[in-house]
Amino acid sequence: MNSPALQTRTEHRQHQTLTPRLQHAVRLLQLSSLDFAQEVMDAMGKNPFLEIEEPSGEAAASEGSGDDAQRDAPAATEVPQVDSNVSASDPDTTWERENWQTPGGSGSSASSSGDTDGVMEMVAAAIDLRQHLRSQINVMPLSDRDRVLVCAIIESLDDDGYLRLSLDELAGITELEPVVDQCEMNTALKLVQSLDPCGVGARNASECLLLQLECIDDSVDRELARRIITEQLDKLAQRDIPGLAKLFDREAVHIEAVCDRIRHLDPRPGWRFGSSDVHFVVPDVIVKKIRGQWAAQLNPAVVPKIRLNRVYAELFQQHRNSKHTELAAHLQEARWTVRNVEQRFSTILLVAEAILRRQHHFLEYGPLAMKPLGLREIADEVGLHESTVSRVTNNKYMATPSGVFELKYFFSRAMPTASGGACSATAIRGVIQDMIAGENPMDPLSDAEIARQLARQGLTVARRTVTKYRQMLKVAAVERRRKHA
């Protein structure tokens, strides 16, 4: 019988850890320009050794004379946001998401005398929806009781211009004597719904559209539109023109014309008033063609103008002692911040220039000329780790004559071709977009047909991949693109 033995193993393992400075640098590198600017401003507010770098006299003069980079740099580009919290099972919200088309719809300059009051008088004050509605109510001959009820409804509208509360709830909120009855509330609601903008005060998308049907002059079309909205809103959302034509016993071309009128109504009239939540993209790099060569440069609008306060730093070094540990930490952090700012933007520019060398044909000829490109290729070229390149290209944007693109846009996997070569997924999406743009609207291309046409061009792409790319291009399915003669 073997006696138990005690075994002792000694393993030597190496653990790679990041210093606090590197951790700070990595965190700053992956921030967007706006978040990074806020981070730097917060650091300046807490650290006495950081200060804003004032431009020198010559630099200020050159900026005032209109430096090309500063003049051509788009400081911010608006990006429309899409509401993703919409239920696909609700016909009202489905119609809004699939069919909403915004109906067609200054700047101010400072006085040379520097009169602040004059400048402020030239700035238009923003009027929200409730102020706009109250301004109309104030000129109407209403009793005090009716005015209270109407104002209660106006104050209960949401930003879309919809009344989401029930009339019974509103009647209880007013606490009027005698008690408000249903007839009074209905009358007050009808009065609100008669105000500008048309469609305000509706309780759902169907009612909002019905309130706007008076803009359709033809009585036959108006009645048909009313029936489509009240009875078949789901088919309208699905653009089922043949189904609607069969249900209402009308020609498909007539149904399509009426549906087109409905789609140009405004399902959210409240959005015309008040400030909206506008998101901006600030490009980090600007690309221009200089003497026939594409060149990249940093956008000066996003580079923080900070520096170390030399006077405070020298005074601290002369009088430092063991009691000043907190100030010593501030000084060290200030030095890290300045170095990290320099390192961040030099790394962004380095990566952007490497991308530009690989993808300059894209700027000349468009998406069809985009080459397959991976993060590792850029990492090997500029001598960085692949994860660092991933952080640099995340939430960083490049402004080009063709538009503003996230740096990640220039990376795509290689798709094999019949000739044995490779094509980028971005180029294939460009080919699909061109195919759809040139299709016959009476007989649009299905995803399967697009896949077959790509195969004839030597690009082997599965039908489900075509569907994914079409959805990325925000192009509707074949039946929703079909027009009827």
Taking the C-alpha atoms of residue 44 and residue 51, their distance in angstroms, rounded to an integer, is: 7
Asked if residue 324 and residue 220 are part of one domain, the reply reads no
pLDDT band at 157 (very low <50, low <70, confident <90, very high): very high
Asked if residue 313 and residue 400 are part of one domain, the reply reads yes
Do 299 and 399 meet the contact criterion of CB atoms below 8 Å apart? yes
Percent of the chain predicted with pLDDT > 90: 41
Percent helix / strand / coil, the chain, rounded to 5: 55, 10, 35
| Range from 120-129, 220-229, 327-336, 410-419 carrying the lowest mean pLDDT | 120-129
Q: Which residue has the tokens 């005074």?
A: 315
Question: Residue 444 domain-assigned?
Answer: yes
Question: Residue 310 domain-assigned?
Answer: yes
Mean pLDDT taken over the chain: 80
State the number of CA atoms in the 13 A half-sphere of 95 facing the CB. Answer: 26
Q: Which string of DSSP letters, residue by residue, matches 398-431?
A: EEETTEEEEGGGG-B-EEEBTTS-EEEHHHHHHH
Question: Residue 101 domain-assigned?
Answer: no
Question: Residue 160 domain-assigned?
Answer: yes
The yes-or-no verdict on residue 87 having pLDDT over 50 is: no
Question: Residue 45 domain-assigned?
Answer: yes
Taking the C-alpha atoms of residue 355 and residue 407, their distance in angstroms, rounded to an integer, is: 8
* CATH code: domain of residue 449: 1.10.10.60
If you average pLDDT over residues 243-260, what whole number do you get?
92
* pLDDT top residue among 81 and 143: 143
Asked if residue 284 and residue 398 are part of one domain, the reply reads yes
Asked if residue 291 and residue 400 are part of one domain, the reply reads yes
Asked if residue 433 and residue 338 are part of one domain, the reply reads no
Specify the number of domains making up the chain: 3
Domain end point (choices 411, 436, 456):
411
Q: Which of 16-20, 49-53, 172-176, 283-287 has the highest mean pLDDT?
A: 283-287
Domain end point (choices 272, 305, 337):
272
- CA 199, 203, 205, 210 dihedral sign is negative
Taking the C-alpha atoms of residue 323 and residue 329, their distance in angstroms, rounded to an integer, is: 12
Q: What are the structure tokens assigned to 63, written together? A: 């900026």
Asked if residue 353 and residue 286 are part of one domain, the reply reads yes
Q: Read off the pLDDT of residues 424-451 as tens digits, 9 standing for 90 and up.
A: 888 899 899 999 999 998 889 999 999 9
pLDDT band at 274 (very low <50, low <70, confident <90, very high): low
Percent of the chain predicted with pLDDT > 70: 78
Q: DSSP label at 442?
A: T
Asked if residue 400 and residue 423 are part of one domain, the reply reads no
pLDDT at position 26? 75
pLDDT band at 35 (very low <50, low <70, confident <90, very high): confident
> Helix, strand, or coil here: 66?
coil
Question: Residue 113 domain-assigned?
Answer: no
pLDDT at position 25? 72
Do 455 and 428 meet the contact criterion of CB atoms below 8 Å apart? no
**What's CA 426's distance to the chain center, in Å?**
20
The yes-or-no verdict on residue 114 having pLDDT over 50 is: no
pLDDT at position 68? 47
The yes-or-no verdict on residue 66 having pLDDT over 80 is: no
Question: Residue 450 domain-assigned?
Answer: yes
Question: Residue 90 domain-assigned?
Answer: no
Domain end point (choices 272, 297, 320):
272
First to last CA, the chain: 95
The yes-or-no verdict on residue 108 having pLDDT over 50 is: no
Asked if residue 255 and residue 158 are part of one domain, the reply reads yes
Asked if residue 457 and residue 361 are part of one domain, the reply reads no
Asked if residue 183 and residue 297 are part of one domain, the reply reads no
Asked if residue 187 and residue 73 are part of one domain, the reply reads no
Asked if residue 451 and residue 364 are part of one domain, the reply reads no
Residue-number span of the structural domain to which 446 is assigned: 413-485
